[in-house]
Structure 1
Amino acid sequence: MKTSKLLLLYLLVITTAFLLSFYFSQRETPETLQPDVLMSGRALPRFILTNIYGERTALESFRGKVVLIFFGYANCPDVCPQALRKYAELEQLLGPKASEVVLIFITTDPFRDSPETLAHLVEKYSSRIVALTGEWDELAEVWQKYHIRPLERDEQAAFITHSAVIYVGDRNLVLRKILTPEMPAEAMLEQILPLL
């Protein structure tokens, strides 16, 4: 029990340190757009992965929309469904502007998250969610760029430890904010509206 608490504390300290260092090293945006959570002037790392139709999909194809990027997996019991539910709520709050915002869900479990599995997952929440998978090696490259570290390469693992942040990019695919699934949808809306 003590080891679990120490591990949790260690992960919290590391995550906080990363976010603070990233924030202070990347402050290149106008003061009028400073959010409560985080802003940066760094381009979102690019990627090309496979969507639920088996088609190769590039981040670049979403230029012109506000993009939310979340990493998770279909069998995730808690934070992933929470993030997907929040996006569905956010869509409702956005109304007609919902078509200008896209959630990109990138798997951390390529062994089980086939395009078909991800299709079943996202259909429960929103047709606008773009779910992506791929081979371990190509996903590992994307995870590294976004500082996502699945616990281990294990085809049998029941649970996969992963970060629980939502990267928000503007219409030019520049990182502007980092949100969390725990935030109320109304708070997310407040952070996203200035980017529309």
Structure 2
Amino acid sequence: MKLTSKLILVLSLIAATVVALVVVWYATSLPRAVTSQSAVLGKATRTGTPAIGGPFTLVSTNGESVTDQTFRGKWLLIFFGYTSCPDLCPTALANVSVALEKFGPDTGRLQPLFITVDPQRDTREVMANYLKSFDARIVGLTGTQAQIDQVTKEYRVYVALDKSEKSGDDYPVSHSGYLYLMDPKGTFVNVIEGKEDGDAIATWLRQQMTSSTRWRNSS
């Protein structure tokens, strides 16, 4: 009898331990409730939006000072490049020119900008002459090296001058080739590669501008 009682006691302790372990495992394996302010308020939010864009002061090809506030109220389509670029820049600007034609009456809501990454060579006069080959609505912007460095940093543009002592004024500039879309409040929306053709860019613009407007109206 004593042996049987001890055995029952041992088995009971083992069973109780197993049950306790199961309870602890079950409790800790449950997903935790989201307690952020967004969840509490039940509002739709976007997360992970990169911090692209910011204040800048540049000069247009006609000599006017241009800041990030100049075009408030309009969508901005921004491309960073330089006039001596052999293929990427003229291709992107030609595609933007086609997109503006395809975009139709809504083009008035959009301001395309071409910002140089090579201010040493791209003076106002050089840029003005270069842009004659593209849609007249594209505004060219240049500035001091410090001003260009600031704006490329804010837009996270990759720029690298492949310059040597022997190259003189004939040197290439490596740079990223994206078109940046900013909404009328100056907030970054999205990017598309400049090598996309005009039809694709026009379609993308309609989609981005429509979906962004709907999201902001619902938030």
Residue of structure 1 equivalent to 2:187 = 174
**In structure 1, C-alpha distance between the alignment counterparts of 2:170 and 2:80, rounded to whole Å:** 17
Residue of structure 2 equivalent to 1:82 = 91
Could you tell me whether the CA contact under 8 Å between 1:29 and 1:41 is conserved in 2? no
RMSD, aligned CA: 2.3
The 1:127/1:56 distance shift into structure 2, 3 A limit, reads same
After TM superposition, where is structure 1 displaced by more than 3 Å over at least 4 residues in a row? 27-30, 39-43, 152-155
Letter in 2 for 1:88: S
TM-score scaled to structure 1, two decimals? 0.75
- 1:1-196 alignment runs, 5 A limit: 28-29=45-46, 40=49, 42=51, 44-152=53-161, 154=163, 156-194=169-207, 195=209
The superposition leaves residues 83-124 of structure 1 with CA deviations (integer Å, 9 ceiling, x where unpaired) of 110111011101222122111111111111000111011121
Q: Point out where structure 2 has 5 or more consecutive residues left out of the alignment.
A: 1-43, 211-219
**How far did 1:149 drift?**
3.5
**In structure 2, C-alpha distance between the alignment counterparts of 1:141 and 1:95, rounded to whole Å:** 34
Aligned residue for 1:161, secondary structure, equals strand
Could you tell me whether the CA contact under 8 Å between 2:79 and 2:177 is conserved in 1? yes
The superposition leaves residues 111-152 of structure 1 with CA deviations (integer Å, 9 ceiling, x where unpaired) of 110001110111211111111111111111111112223213
**How far did 1:41 drift?**
7.3
Taking every aligned residue pair, what percent have the same amino acid on both sides? Answer: 28
The 1:153/1:49 distance shift into structure 2, 3 A limit, reads farther
Residue of structure 1 equivalent to 2:14 = none
Aligned residue for 1:144, secondary structure, equals helix
Could you tell me whether the CA contact under 8 Å between 2:161 and 2:172 is conserved in 1? no
**In structure 2, C-alpha distance between the alignment counterparts of 1:122 and 1:159, rounded to whole Å:** 19
Bigger Cα displacement from structure 2, 105-114 vs 183-192: 183-192
Letter in 1 for 2:148: L
Could you tell me whether the CA contact under 8 Å between 1:28 and 1:40 is conserved in 2? no
Could you tell me whether the CA contact under 8 Å between 1:65 and 1:171 is conserved in 2? yes
Aligned residue for 1:123, secondary structure, equals helix
Q: Which has the higher contact order (CA 8 A, sep 6+)?
A: 1
Letter in 1 for 2:116: T
Aligned residue for 2:53, secondary structure, equals coil
Determine which structure has more spread, i.e. the larger CA radius of gyration: 2
Letter in 2 for 1:186: D
The superposition leaves residues 47-94 of structure 1 with CA deviations (integer Å, 9 ceiling, x where unpaired) of 110100111101211112111111100111111001110111011101
Aligned residue for 2:69, secondary structure, equals helix
Q: Point out where structure 1 has 5 or more consecutive residues left out of the alignment.
A: 1-26, 31-38
* Aligned length in residues: 162
Letter in 1 for 2:157: I
Aligned residue for 1:119, secondary structure, equals helix
